[in-house]
Amino acid sequence: MKLHVSCILLSVVFMFAACGSGNTRSGAVAEAGPVKDSTEAQMVKVPGKKPLRLLTERPYNLETPLRYFLEDFTPNDVFFVRWHLPVPPAPVDEDTFRLRIGGNVGRSIALSMKDLKTKFTPYKIVAVCQCAGNSRSHFNPRVPGAQWVNGSMGNAVWTGVKLKDILAMAQPKANTKFVSFNGLDQPVFPSTPDFVKSLEYAHAMDGEVMLAYEMNGEPIPFLNGYPLKLVVPGWYATYWVSMVSEIRLYADSFKGYWMNKAYLVPKGVPNGNEKPDSLAKDMEPVSKLDVRSVFVSPQPGFTMQKGKTYEIQGLAMDDGTGITKVEISRDKGKTWAQARLDPVLGKYSWRRWRYTYTPVEEGPVEFLAKATNAAGATQPWHQWNRSGYMRNEIESLPLNVSK
Ligand SMILES: Nc1nc2c(c(=O)[nH]1)N[C@H]1C(S)=C(S)[C@@H](COP(=O)(O)O)O[C@H]1N2
Ligand SMILES: [Mo]
């Protein structure tokens, strides 16, 4: 813990943005309603990052303010940060760092960063990294956990090596079923389980799961997992293990706290739904991203002028199936109009949508946004689960119209 504290003895600057009252964090039940601007919250400046919304300090949990989602690729210096255990005290030394691969393999190997950058064909993919708990603060009744608004997500170009190429070098045994991933972060007390995640072997070998050493063309930022981050396109970010240093293969299943006790959702239920008074009994690990859309601009409560034309803008994403439609409603879902979709930046990227609107009447107006993907999957009107995962309820944006 001492080491960790020293690492975060930083010039912590608190700021309160001028807009908004900030009362969304007061502990009241969060309404399942409009997207709230992260800039209402307390902000913190840590090395390597611009001011971000502070959720917790030990370890760091930092949220990206909404306005950065006007960019297609989330800049590294505002990319959200999520840790369960203390962040290692200092960046690793690239020369001495080794990625170890062992377990059910023909030969255990240890790879240096230089090995990874020179002995394999580089691979690049655009993918959204979204925490399974993103937007948790909107769940009603409120659920425990980091009270994210919509900013525990980001889109980036990831460069590195396909996991299947790396595993092949260790000669996996034919009966391999699971692969686990451990990072350099460690619990303070031996009773706290280390953060280890696993994937089925076939998934790990699908040619898309990769180990990234670059994010948007730069080394992965320290707080996002320097020097190596597992990228699992289309899957929630809990699998995107930061500072990966150990990979193990198993002939049978892998069991561990972070796979079998945490990050569970009701099994086989669309949108991970359950009811507070009748919780699901059968649970399974969270996995693929639900279809969702979020509003990015304008800010909630913005006042438009009658007769002027405005662009309402947002993002939509899913598990890689592909967003095919985003619809907008101004009458609580009775009628829907299609938004325009920007070009696809990659199947695992988010996709920007735009809707042009010219108000003709004064008064309040509420927009709803609903995305649909190529498999016909869309967003629910109501959603709840005990841990606040996979949030993808249809969102609303309240605006005003003046003379
Ligand atoms: N080593 C390690 N990797 C981790 C975690 C962690 O606590 N330790 N948290 C996971 C979770 S829950 C999320 S949402 C993502 C966040 O990635 P980011 O911090 O780069 O945004 O990292 C994942 N990888
Ligand atoms: Mo997460």
Where along the chain do its domains lie? 5-82, 99-285, 292-402
Q: CB of 318 closer than 6 A to ligand 1? A: no
- Calculate how far, in angstroms, residue 331's C-alpha sits from the geometric centre of ligand 1: 39
User: Could you tell me which of 324, 295, 292 has the C-alpha nearest to residue 311?
Assistant: 295
pTM over 0.75: yes
Question: Which atom of ligand 1 lies at the shortest distance from residue 263's CA?
Answer: 12
Question: What is the tens place of the pLDDT at every residue in 175-223?
Answer: 999 999 999 999 988 889 999 999 999 999 999 999 999 999 999 999 9
The residue whose CA has the least distance to atom 11 of ligand 1 is 238
Mean pLDDT over 157-178 rounds to: 98
Question: Which atom of ligand 1 lies at the shortest distance from residue 81's CA?
Answer: 19
Least trusted range by pLDDT, from 33-47, 75-89, 312-326: 33-47
- 3 state DSSP class of 328: strand
Least trusted range by pLDDT, from 39-43, 297-301, 316-320: 39-43
Phi, psi of 126 (to 5 degrees): -95, 130
Question: Which atom of ligand 1 lies at the shortest distance from residue 221's CA?
Answer: 20
| pLDDT for 190 | 86
Dist CA 276 CA 16 (whole Å)? 34
| pLDDT for 310 | 97
| pLDDT for 30 | 30
Q: CB of 232 closer than 6 A to ligand 1? A: no
Question: Which atom of ligand 1 lies at the shortest distance from residue 183's CA?
Answer: 1
Question: Which atom of ligand 1 lies at the shortest distance from residue 236's CA?
Answer: 14
Q: Residues 158, 124: contact at Cβ < 8 Å? A: yes
- Calculate how far, in angstroms, residue 101's C-alpha sits from the geometric centre of ligand 1: 20
Q: CB of 211 closer than 6 A to ligand 1? A: no
pLDDT of 20 over the 50 cut? no
Q: CB of 134 closer than 6 A to ligand 1? A: no
Phi, psi of 293 (to 5 degrees): -135, 150
Q: CB of 86 closer than 6 A to ligand 1? A: no
- Calculate how far, in angstroms, residue 322's C-alpha sits from the geometric centre of ligand 1: 25
Evaluated on CA atoms 260, 165, 209, 247, the torsion sign reads positive
Q: CB of 133 closer than 6 A to ligand 1? A: no
Q: Residues 26, 137: contact at Cβ < 8 Å? A: no
The residue whose CA has the least distance to atom 4 of ligand 1 is 241
- Beta-strand relationship, 109-111 and 99-103: antiparallel
Question: Which atom of ligand 1 lies at the shortest distance from residue 154's CA?
Answer: 21
Residues ≥6 apart with Cβ < 8 Å to 167: 101, 179, 204, 205, 247, 249
The residue whose CA has the least distance to atom 14 of ligand 1 is 131
Phi, psi of 342 (to 5 degrees): -70, 165
Mean pLDDT over 126-131 rounds to: 98
- Calculate how far, in angstroms, residue 212's C-alpha sits from the geometric centre of ligand 1: 14
- Please, which pLDDT band fits residue 41 given cuts at 50, 70 and 90? low
| pLDDT for 2 | 34
Mutate to test the pocket of ligand 1, among 76, 82, 239 (most ligand atoms within 8 A of CB): 82
| pLDDT for 16 | 27
Mean pLDDT over 151-174 rounds to: 98
Token match 């960063």: residue? 113
Q: CB of 238 closer than 6 A to ligand 1? A: yes
Average pLDDT along the chain: 90
| pLDDT for 385 | 97
More confident residue, 40 or 86: 86
Mean pLDDT over 98-125 rounds to: 98
| pLDDT for 42 | 87
- 3 state DSSP class of 174: coil
- Please, which pLDDT band fits residue 357 given cuts at 50, 70 and 90? very high
Question: Which atom of ligand 1 lies at the shortest distance from residue 243's CA?
Answer: 1
Query: Domain spanning 99-285 has what CATH number?
Result: 3.90.420.10
Question: What is the tens place of the pLDDT at every residue in 256-295?
Answer: 999 999 999 999 998 999 999 999 999 999 999 999 999 9
Dist CA 327 CA 336 (whole Å)? 6
Asked if the domains 99-285 and 292-402 are classified in one and the same CATH topology, the answer is no
- Please, which pLDDT band fits residue 157 given cuts at 50, 70 and 90? very high
Q: CB of 195 closer than 6 A to ligand 1? A: yes
Half-sphere exposure of 23 (CA within 13 A, CB side): 3
| pLDDT for 27 | 30
| pLDDT for 58 | 87
Query: Domain spanning 292-402 has what CATH number?
Result: 2.60.40.650
